[in-house]
Structures are given as C-alpha cells and as structure tokens.
Structure 1
Amino acid sequence: MDSPTVLRRRLGSELRRLRERADLQAKFVADELGFSASKVSRIESGQTTLKESDIRAMLELYGVSDEAELHQFISLTRRSTQRGWWHDYGDSLPEWFQTYVGLEADASRIRSYESELVPGLLQTADYAREVFRTFWPEQDSGHIIERRVKLRMQRQEIIRGPKPLTVHAVLSEAVLRRAVGGVDLMSEQVKHLIKAAQQPNITVQVLPFSAGAHPAMGTNFRILSFSEVPGEIVFCESVTSSLYIEKESDVARHEHVFDHITSLAMSPTDSASWMQQLATEGYGV
C-alpha cells in the first residue's frame, strides 16, 4: 500500500497536470480560491494535505466535471490524509522533518553527501544518542532523546528486508575523524559502517582530505529517487528547517556534483580498508 506521502505527491502531480492543461497560472489559482501562492506550491509538490472542499474547488476551477474522475480524486485525497507510522513520534519529531521521513520511507534510492555527520540510516544508537544530546541539550531529560533514538532505529528498517532501500553515501573524512562521544563510541560507529557497507544495497565511500577542493564543499544534501512517482527530490537540512528541491535543472546539478565527488572519493573497497585502519589505529583501540 502506498504511504500518505507518496499519495500526496501523486495527487499534487495530477493537480499540476490539470492546472497546466487548463492553462492557468499558480498565482491565478491562488487568487481565485483564496489560497496563498505558497499553498498552491506545497499542494503540487505533495508537502501538505488537502481538505475535501479544497480539492473540489480546484477540480471545478480546472474544468473537471466527470463524476468518476471526481470520485477518484476525492478517494485519493482521503487516503493521502492518513497518518504514517512516524506520526506516533510527533512529540519528538519536528514538524518540518516529518515530510522527509515520509519521503525517505517511500524512496527506492538515496544518494547523499555528508560533511559532518554519519547519515541517520547508518548510525548506531549510541552515536545517534550523542548527536541528539548535543543538538538539543535542553532536552537531555532522557525521554525525548530516547524517543528520537527509537525513531531513528525504526527508520533503519527500510535498509533491510526483501526490498531494501538502496543507499549510496559519500562521507567527508571529517565525518569519521570527529570522535563523537569519544574514541570507543566512534570506533564502534566506524565498524558499524564497515559492516553496513557489506550489504549489497549499501555503498559507502570516503572523500579524503587529500582530494582537495570539490564542488560539494560547504553543503550536505540527499537525492531521493522513487519507483512509484517520477522525478527526484533533493533534500537539504539546516538547524531548524529544511529545503526540498524538485526543479529538474537544480536536481541535475546536484546529481552532477554527486557523480563528481564519487569519482574523487576512495572506492568502496578502499574506503572499507581505510575505515578499518582508522577504527583499529586512528582511535587508539
């Protein structure tokens, strides 16, 4: 069964198609329906849920009158408002990050570049716990931190199972040199990465300092691909918000950058050997 996030993206894509077929600009639609321009954009990109009254108004504006087609859209709208499993963690999951978790759950492949952190899907519980304690020191009461760790571990189920998510992560050497939580914890995290990279659906490459300047400097990003919905999404995260990029030319630019840094990085085999040496010698254990 498709998740609510995929259904919202499918609904948004269809609404964009109908608007363009009717030769209407998004601003005109917003003005006619009393929406903000940003709301129309969020609807068409699948980043917000729709009320049944809103979908009826949009379809009427787009000239859709066939009862069967109307029924299909209403049904899709209702299904897209259902809650995903991650909503049970609403007390510890920032609202702006819930969309990403839904997209991640629906993705078939994620390509990412990280300059500071081990990707969440490849973190150990101890590493994640230390990161959360550092990011939200005011929440170090235990409960919220443990809820966040539990959510992160549950998210990792998508890299296992009969149809696991494909992950290709390029990590700056700095990610692995930074002893998060101390040398023992970090050594275990690096060993966990080595083990994870032995799975056929996971590729880990280390971008060494010796590679010099590269086009991903100063940024982190993830490129999400989907089997059910066409098009990729680039996700960029900051301290309190996130950015979703879907414009084809911008996505293509990120794909080009990713291909470039994979060519500069050590091969997966050499990366595993380098990490093994770091875990056994570089952290003094």
Structure 2
Amino acid sequence: MDSPTVLRRRLGSELRRLRERTGLQAKAAADALRFSATKISRIESGQTTLKESDVRALLELYGVTDEAELRQFISLTRRSTQRGWWHDYGDALPDWFQTYVGMESDAARIRAYEIELVPGLLQTADYARAIFRISPSAPSSDEIERRVKLRIQRQEIFHRADPPIVRTILNEAVLRRPIGGPHVMREQVLHLIELVERYEVTIQVLPFSTGAHASMNTAFHILSFADVPGDVVYVEALTSSLFMERESDIAHHELAFARLSESAMNPQDSLSWMQKLATEGYGRVN
C-alpha cells in the first residue's frame, strides 16, 4: 500500500499536469483561487496535506467535469490524508523527517552517498543508539529507545513484496570512525555484509586514496518511485532538511553519484574490503 506521503506526491503531480494542460501559470492559478503561490507549490510537490475542498476548487478551475475522474481525485485525496505508521513516533520524529520516511517507505530505488555515518536504513540498533546518545538535543533514555525502534522498523521495507533497490556509497571514514566502540562497529559492518548478500543492496566504499571527489562536503539521497514521475533529492542538516525536485538539481546529483561510483571501489572489492575490516580492522573485541 502506498504511503500518504507518496500519495500526496502523486496527487500533486496530477494537479500540476492539469494546470499545465490548461496553460495556467502557478501564480495565475493561485490568484484565481485566492491561494498563495507558495500553497500551490507545496500542493504540487506533495509537501502538504490537501483539503478536499481545495482539490475540488482546483479541479473546477482546471475544467475537470467528468464524474469518474472527479471521484478518482477525491478518493486519492482522502487516502493521502491517512496516517502512516511512522506517525506513532511523532514525538521522536521531526516533521521534516516524517516526509522523508514516508517517501523512503515507498521508494523503488534509493541511491545514497554518506560522508560520516551509515545511512539510517542500514544501521544496527546499537550503532543507532550510539549516534542518538551524542545528539545535541540530549534525548532521554526512553526517547533514544523510541528513535532506535523507529529506525529498525524502517528496515521492514526490505521485506516488502517489491523491496527497493538500494545503492550506497560510503566514504571510508564512515567505516573507520569507531562509533560505539569496536564491537558495535564490527557488528555494523557484518550487518552491511548481510544486507548485501540477502537483498538488493549494493555498497561501494570510497577510499581515502581517492583524494578529491565529486561531493566533498555534502551527503545526499536520491529516491525514485515506481508510479510517481520524478525523482527526489534529499539533503539533511542538523535541524532541517531540503527536498529538491527540479530536473537540473536531480541531474546534478545523479552526475555526482555516477562520478562517486566511478571513484569508489567496485561492489565486489568493497564487499571483500568490508569482510577484511570486520575480521581485522577493529582490534581485539572482548
């Protein structure tokens, strides 16, 4: 079942298609309905929950009169307002990250480049716990456990009937930095190896020896969907995130990802490197 986040994106994409078919600019549509231009932008990018009354007004403006088509739009609107499973963790999940989790839960393909840490989707509970413990927000023990539970539940997408294809490029520093100590890191690397062997997960390690590369200061994710046009680039900061959907932004990040992939060890060499690291790279573990 599609998540509400992806349904909003699909609905927004369809409304944008209808607007463009009528030849209306976004500002003209906003003025006609006394909406703000920002509201139209957020509706079309799927960044806001739509009211049924707003959708009906937009459809009327765009000349949609076919009853069957109207019913489809209203049904999609109602489904898009339902709560996703992640809303149960609302107090431990910033609003801006809820959007990402919703997209991730329905993504057909996820491409990620990380500079400093293992992507949340691939983390073990102990690794995630070690990350949360040093958070500047100083979460309580109970809150940390709720965040860890959410992070692990996100990994249920690997058990979907149609699990996503995940391609991840990790800076060597990600696997060298002893987060949580040697035992936690060894278990984390073994977990990555298991994911590669069991699922549609590919990991490439970008070694220090590469030197300068295509994304020196920015980690990013590119999410693609089976039945929603357009990819989304996600970039996260400490207290907010950025979603980019312009074709030029997507193309720029896809090119960076391709160049990073060329600079990194190939998947098989990366797997061998991680296996050796898990065996020898963290010293003696009690």
- Relative to the length of structure 2, the TM-score reads 0.95
Residue 152 of structure 1 aligns with an amino acid whose one-letter code is R
Q: What is the match of residue 207 of structure 2?
A: 208
Q: Which residue of 1 aligns with 2:130?
A: 130
Residue in 1 that maps onto 2:111: 111
Q: How many residues align?
A: 284
Q: In the alignment, which residue of structure 2 is the partner of 1:174?
A: 173
- List per-residue Cα deviations over 1:165-194 (Å, max 9, x = no partner): 111100000101111111221121112112
SS in structure 1 at match of 2:214: coil
**Cα shift at 1:269:** 1.7
Distance 1:162 1:57, change over 3 A: closer
Per-residue CA distance 1:194-235 (angstroms, 9 max, x = gap): 222112401011000101111111001111111121221111
Query: What residue in structure 1 maps to residue 25 of structure 2?
Result: 25
CA contact (8 A) 1:19 1:62 kept: yes
- Which position in structure 2 is the counterpart of 1:63? 63
1:4 is matched with which residue?
Answer: 4
Distance 1:135 1:16 in 2: 39
Q: Which runs of 4+ in 1 moved over 3 A?
A: none
Amino acid at match of 1:113: Y
Q: Percent identity?
A: 68
Q: In 2, Cα distance between the equivalents of 1:99 and 1:162?
A: 22
CA contact (8 A) 1:183 1:284 kept: yes
Tell me the SS of whatever aligns to 2:110.
Answer: strand
1:224 and 2:214 are equivalent in the alignment: no
Q: Which piece of structure 1 moves more, 110-119 or 180-189?
A: 180-189
| Pairwise CA distance, 1:155 | 0.3
Q: Name the structure 1 match of 2:186.
A: 187
**1:257 partnered with 2:256:** yes
Q: Alpha-carbon deviation of 1:118?
A: 0.1
8 Å Cα contact 1:208-1:265 kept in structure 2: yes
How far apart, in 1, do the equivalents of 2:212 and 2:181 lie? Answer: 29
| Cα distance between partner residues in 2 of 1:162 and 1:10 | 21
Is contact 1:159-1:166 (8 Å) kept?
no
Residue of structure 2 equivalent to 1:100: 100
Q: Which runs of 5+ in 2 are unaligned?
A: none
In the alignment, the residues of structure 2 paired with residue 122 and residue 82 of structure 1 have an alpha-carbon distance, to the nearest angstrom, of: 27
Shift of 1:136: 4.3
Q: Is the 8 A contact 1:9 1:47 kept in 2?
A: yes
Distance 2:21 2:48 in 1: 22
Report the alpha carbon displacement of residue 16 of structure 1 after superposing the two structures with TM. Answer: 0.3
Provide the residue aligned with 2:239 in structure 1: 240
Provide the secondary structure at the position in 2 that maps to 1:244. Answer: strand
Check the 8 A contact 2:158/2:199 in 1, yes or no.
no
Judging changes above 3 Å, is the alpha-carbon distance between structure 1 residues 75 and 162 closer, same or farther for their aligned structure 2 residues?
A: closer
Give me the whole-angstrom Cα distance separating, in 1, the residues matched to 2:133 and 2:24.
49
For residues 53-109 of structure 1, give each alpha carbon's deviation from its aligned partner in whole angstroms, at most 9, with x where no partner exists. Answer: 111221222222333322221221111101111111111111111111110011011
Where 1:28 maps in the other structure, the secondary structure is helix
Matched, 1:274 2:260: no
Could you list the runs of 5+ residues in structure 1 that have no partner in the other structure?
none
In 2, Cα distance between equivalents of 1:124 and 1:72: 41
Residue 79 of structure 1 corresponds to: 79
- Letter paired with 2:35: F
